[in-house]
Amino acid sequence: MEVGIDIEEIERIERAHKRFGDRFLRKIFCKEEIDYCFSKKNPYPSLCGRFCAKEAVVKVYGGAIGISDVKIITKESGKPVVFIHDAPSDIAISISHSRLYATAIAVKP
C-alpha cells in the first residue's frame, strides 16, 4: 500500500489566483475541477483541497507523474474520484478543509 498526504494554506491558493489569474488555474486544474470549485460561494477551500489531493496522489507515485496528470472529479454523491491521464484510478482520496487549511490523503492499495 502507498500513501500520500498534503496540507496547504487556503490563502496561498487564493493569492496565487489573484496574482496570476486564470493562467494559474489552467496550469493546475482541468475545466471540470474549475467549474466545480467556482460553483461554490467561496471557491478557494475547494481549489486548495483539490490541489492537496493532486499533490497527495503525486506523492503516492513517487513523483513519476505531475500534478497536471491528476484530475479529481466529484461524483453526485459528493465522493471525490481520482483520474490519472484521464483514466479512472484505484486510488482512494479524502479531502478536508477548515477555515485556514485544506488537506488530503491518497491511498493506493
- Span 33-83, pLDDT tens digits: 999 999 999 999 999 999 999 999 999 999 889 999 999 999 989 899 999
In the predicted model, what is the mean pLDDT of residues 82-102?
96
Instruction: Give 33's contacts (C-beta < 8 A, 6+ positions apart).
Output: 50, 71, 72, 73
| Nearest residue to 104 (alpha-carbon basis) of 58, 40, 62 | 58
In the predicted model, what is the mean pLDDT of residues 24-28?
95
The number of folded domains in the chain is: 1
Q: Which domain holds residue 85?
A: 2-108
Domain of residue 92, CATH code: 3.90.470.20
The region of weakest confidence among 12-16, 18-22, 62-66 is 62-66
Tell me whether residue 70 is exposed, middle or buried, using C-beta atoms within 10 angstroms of its C-beta: 0 to 12, 13 to 18, 19 or more. buried
Q: Give the global pTM.
A: 0.94
